[in-house]
Amino acid sequence: MNKKAAVVFYLLIILIFGAAIYNIIERGHALEKTSTHFVKASSSSPDNFQLFSESLHNNFLHPLPVLLMQIIVIVITARLFGFLFNKINQPAVIGEIVAGIVLGPSVIGLFFPQFSHFVFPVSSLGNLQFLSQVGLVLFMFVIGMELDLSVVAKQAFGAVVISHASIIIPYTLGMGLAYFLYDAFAPANISFLSFALFMGIAMSITAFPVLARIIQEKGLTKTKLGALALTCAAADDVTAWCILAAVIAIVKAGSSVSALYTIGIAICYVLIMLFIIKPLLKKLGNEYVETETVKKSVMAFVFMLLLISAYVTEIIGIHALFGAFLAGVVMPPQLNFRKMIIDKIEDVSIVLLLPLFFVFTGLRTQIGLLSNVHLWITCAWIIAIAVAGKFGGSALSAKVVGQSWKDSLSIGALMNTRGLMELIVLNIGYDLGILSPEIFAMLVLMALITTFMTGPALDLINKFMADKKNDL
């Protein structure tokens, strides 16, 4: 068919079927006059502009436009703060966390309450929370995939000693701190055991992804110090998440004895994933040693495994994030396969969905609750104990296993990084009702300050202590 004939055909189709539609509508109007099902509205003519305004207003309040507007505001703000913090030699993730607090009641909600209520109405926060949880599930899956257990095994002795010391020392200090905070700050109907166990885990966590980014930016990736710090953080992550799973089980079960059933089932599930599912998946990875693309069917399988693992651990009672992390750990070890999967997931989870979690955390963080000197002194004590336990415990144990003082202090500074992983733990504690809003705000500030101080601490250590060549 030539071009002229196509134009004629197009016009005829429009005219003929347009006339048919007009005829159907006219006959329909005639039916209205005789039909008993149709009741005509008031004879007064409606204000067309008013109808348009009401429709536009309703569209603004619909959950989907509200959620899309929130995502736009969050992503733009997160990227802006990430850029600004990069300019002052801080990881972008710190800026994104600060962006979340700025968009919450501590800043925007305090100075521009109407804007805050418009962008983040209370009725919309449920949708924002669930979408942020999806982002966390994907993020923890990526973290699990980035964890190389073979690297941990190569430096197992030193790494395990340092990482476990960097957990048990701050964990004990955190439980001691809980003893003094329980009466004044623990929520009603929360047992001391639950409060103390969670304060311990909040003090002892390390942010593996933020630490890895700092090591990369400081040019330490190919040094013994960088390799050891990454290995310690990886071992720390595995241990801390296992402890967290046990703590959640105890809190949900109500007692340490009844939690043994949950922990037992969880251990069985971990063994199944490591010794049955992981070997089966290794065969899948062998097919992608040299391939550059992943089939859609394989991606569907990977996502199903991720979701099923997250679902199972949530049902068991140890949180869906642990299942997502474990699903990442058991993925085929071939680096090419893991890289392809990570590349497909990472941008969506880190750029789009993780900032939603930062802002949801910021909406929960009410720094204004720290309204007197006593509360700020308590916050300072929390930060001091967190630094003493994590920084001091890691540095001391590193020195004991044979590291130089400079490397020991550097490891202490790196292991003191908490960042995003701490926020995940704190939100779990808040959702379980273990942390009050005041303690939650204090611990969020602690996470920010301890992460923010990592870069400057490393710079000071390098400035005042003799440098030694430490390449791999």
Mean pLDDT for all residues in the chain: 84
**What's the CA gap between 290 and 277, in Å, rounded?**
23
Average pLDDT rounded to a whole number, residues 148-162? 66
Contacts of 352 (CB under 8 A, 6+ apart): 71, 75, 135
> Is pLDDT at 142 greater than 90 in this prediction?
no
132's tokens: 């942020």
Three-state SS annotation for the chain = CCHHHHHHHHHHHHHHHHHHHHHHHHHHHHHHHHCCCCCCCCCCCCCHHHHHHHHHHHHHHCHHHHHHHHHHHHHHHHHHHHHHHHHCCCCHHHHHHHHHHHHCCCCHHHHCHHHHHHHCCHHHHHHHHHHHHHHHHHHHHHHHHHCCHHHHHHCHHHHHHHHHHHHHHHHHHHHHHHHHHHHHHCCCCCCHHHHHHHHHHHHHCCCHHHHHHHHHHCCCCCEHHHHHHHHHHHHHHHHHHHHHHHHHHHHHHCCCCCHHHHHHHHHHHHHHHHHHHHHHHHHHHHCCCCCCCCCHHHHHHHHHHHHHHHHHHHHHCCCHHHHHHHHHHCCCCCHHHHHHHHHHHHHHHHHHHHHHHHHHHHHHCCHHHCCCHHHHHHHHHHHHHHHHHHHHHHHHHHHHCCCCHHHHHHHHHHHCCCHHHHHHHHHHHHHCCCCCHHHHHHHHHHHHHHHHCHHHHHHHHHHHCCCCCCEC
Residue 471: predicted pLDDT: 47
Tell me the torsion sign for CA atoms 304, 308, 314, 318.
Answer: negative
Inter-residue contact 232 to 415 (CB < 8 Å):
yes
Q: Is the pLDDT of residue 469 over 60?
A: no
Most confident range, picked from 144-158, 290-304, 393-407: 393-407
List Cβ neighbours of 73 (8 Å cut-off, separation of 6 or more). Answer: 103, 119
Using the predicted structure, report yes or no on whether residue 189 has a pLDDT greater than 80: yes
Compute the average pLDDT of residues 432-447: 92
**Amino acid symbol at 12:** L
Give yes or no for residue 404 having a pLDDT over 70: yes
Q: Are 416 and 398 in contact (CB under 8 A)?
A: no
Q: Output the pLDDT for position 81.
A: 93
Delineate the domains of the chain, giving CATH numbers in brackets: 108-464 (1.20.1530.20)
Q: Place 205 in a pLDDT band, splitting at 50, 70 and 90.
A: confident
Average pLDDT of the segment spanning 340-346: 85
pLDDT of 154: 61
- Reply yes or no on whether the pLDDT at 472 is more than 50: no
How many other C-beta atoms lie within 10 A of the C-beta of residue 369? 16
Instruction: Dump pLDDT digits (tens) for 353-391.
Output: 888 888 888 888 889 888 889 999 999 999 999 999 999
Cβ–Cβ contacts within 10 Å for residue 221, how many? Answer: 13
| Band of residue 254 on the pLDDT scale cut at 50, 70, 90 | low
Residues 272-322 pLDDT 10s: 998 999 988 887 777 666 666 778 888 899 999 999 999 998 888 778 888
CA separation for the pair 153, 150 (Å, rounded): 5
